[in-house]
Amino acid sequence: MRPQPSYRGRFAPSPSGHLHFGSLITALASFLDAKKNNGTWLVRIEDIDPPREKIGASEHILKTLEAFGLHWDETVLFQSKQSDYYFQVIKELFKEGHCYYCSCTRKQIKTIGGIYQGHCRSLNIEKSNSAIRVINNHGIYQYHDLIQGNIKCEQALAEEDFIIFRKDGLFAYQLAVVADDIYQNISHVIRGCDLLEPTARQLSFYPLLENIQLNNFQLKNSPPTFGHIPLVVTEQGYKLSKQNKAPAIDNSNPQPALMAALTLLGQQPPKELISENVNEIIKWAINHWQIDMVPKKREIQLT
Ligand SMILES: [Zn+2]
């Protein structure tokens, strides 16, 4: 058997719309870093929020990734198929005394300053109409980022008892993302700087899952290494949208957007590369990928 590659990366879009230029850059950076390190690259569709989902978006995202030469190595994982696993994780967290039901409203939390103070920790609230929060006694608020260096987040926010199951009956992002990064044995996460704060929470979550055993599957896992690429914004500092200057994501003509993405990632592709086919551009990009060249900034402007 071929030895398991030690690098396992992933791109995990939510199907709330088509892939835009901002998410293309994220996909490209995580793909190139995995391939440069002889790693495996996975795609996971984070479809745990049906009200925000757009019909057909998952298929469209996957088609776009293929058109841009970003081919994944294993079956695509859909989070909507992972409910049983998430429920088992929650059940075990209760057994270990790591979580509790909370009936506080957003309004109540807002009146105490917006940071949850553990109000329901010892109230033994019943299940109905409640969220589930973890007891976050050792919140991590500083960590080393592969691209951005040392990151320091707001301590009070990082130490908050965060929600893993929502009042409206949906799994929370933090639970699903950590459970699946463990499930898929992810070693490296390259994503956008909008997730710098959630990363701190996710790092705090790992130790709580350490001793959990599910049907022959030990959740023990060290957290992945994280690297956050700058968010692409317009000259006015706005996030990218269809209306502003973002290069169009055109599956029948991917070269211009690929070249623009490589340039913004600091990779300095030679101009003549644009006349090559997608596979040649991707081959060049893998061979020349240098994560150190990615700008060490939270945001980067389209010019
Ligand atoms: Zn509460």
In sequence order, the β-bridge partners of residue 232 are 300
CA distances, 5 to each of 40, 218, 241 (Å): 7, 20, 37
Q: What is the pLDDT of residue 242?
A: 54
216: pLDDT confidence band, cut at 50, 70 and 90? low
Q: What is the pLDDT of residue 146?
A: 97
Distance 76 CA to ligand 1 centre (A): 36
Distance 119 CA to ligand 1 centre (A): 5
CA distances, 45 to each of 70, 82, 83, 258 (Å): 15, 11, 14, 22
Characterise 264 by phi-psi region: left (phi > 0), alpha (psi -120 to 50), beta (else).
alpha
220: pLDDT confidence band, cut at 50, 70 and 90? low
Distance 171 CA to ligand 1 centre (A): 17
Q: Which of 12, 16, 24, 18 is nearest to 242 (CA)?
A: 18
CA distance 189 to 298: 16
Distance 108 CA to ligand 1 centre (A): 9
In sequence order, the β-bridge partners of residue 228 are 191
Distance 201 CA to ligand 1 centre (A): 18
Token pair listed for 58 = 């998952």
pTM above 0.95, yes or no: no
Distance 165 CA to ligand 1 centre (A): 13
Distance 233 CA to ligand 1 centre (A): 36
CA distances, 161 to each of 99, 120, 147, 158, 272 (Å): 9, 10, 28, 9, 52
Q: pLDDT for 158-195, tens place per residue?
A: 999 999 999 999 999 999 999 999 999 999 999 999 99
CA distance 287 to 210: 37
Distance 100 CA to ligand 1 centre (A): 9
